Amino acid sequence: MLIKNILFDADGVLQYPTVHWQSALKSVLKLEDDAQAEAVLCDIFEAETEVLESRTGFIEKLEVKLAKWNRPDMVFETLNALLSIEVHSDIMRTVQCLRRAGIRCHIGSNQQALRAKHMSEVLNYKSLFDSEFYSCFMGTSKPKPEFFEKTIATLDCHASDILFLDDRAENVEAAKRVGLNAMVFFGEDGALSLEHGLAGFGVFTKP
């Protein structure tokens, strides 16, 4: 087994929210209580899910959801909360060590297009990774096998050349069924945990 590519999930692996979304929405949208904030958040997640495989449409879906709560003009405030994310700096240092060691590193994430653009440009994933595979631009999402099949085809390699990391077991199992090496990993566990997991696949941060 020779791993040439590592495919990283984003949320829960590489990045984390810097605000508690439910609390943030309760504040910026001036909602009545935690129950209402939870319901609004569920509606927003539903809107995101509906466009995970589409390049457009999230703003329109979000406006509809906010109109339901009589807040149709608060799209900007809502987006600010959803885009309050930061990178695990120790995990990113490991990613860069892997790249220097000759391992190609890629993003493999379910995202709506606005959030994917923010991650690519503001968090600078377009420079920090060799490739970015976002569901909204691929037209398919994890855990569908097509997501992994398209990734393999783009990388022009064998499935066994890829190691996939995700915090959701169902995505990891789906990747394995397509032939990828895969493991569950949580970014909050830190770089040492990541390096230990990688070593189990014969991958080390130094050549």
- Residue boundaries of the structural domains of the chain: 5-16+86-199, 19-82
**Can you tell me the mean pLDDT for 87-94?**
97
Q: Which helix (H) or strand (E) holds 179?
A: none
Residue 34, burial from CB neighbour count under 10 angstroms (0-12, 13-18, 19+)? exposed
CATH number (1.10.630.10, 2.130.10.10, 3.40.50.1000, 3.30.1490.100) of 5-16+86-199 reads 3.40.50.1000
Do residues 193 and 90 lie in contact, with contact meaning Cβ atoms separated by under 8 Å? no
- This model's pTM is above 0.85: yes
- Residue with token string 């997991």: 197
pLDDT of 121-153, one tens digit each?
A: 999 999 999 999 999 999 999 999 999 999 999
pLDDT of 12-24, one tens digit each?
A: 999 999 999 889 9
135 contacts: CB under 8 Å, gap ≥ 6: 52, 53, 109, 110, 111, 141, 142, 147
pLDDT of 33-62, one tens digit each?
A: 999 999 999 999 999 999 999 999 999 999
Pairing of strands 85-87, 15-17: antiparallel
Measure the CA–CA gap between 138 and 145, rounded to whole angstroms. 12
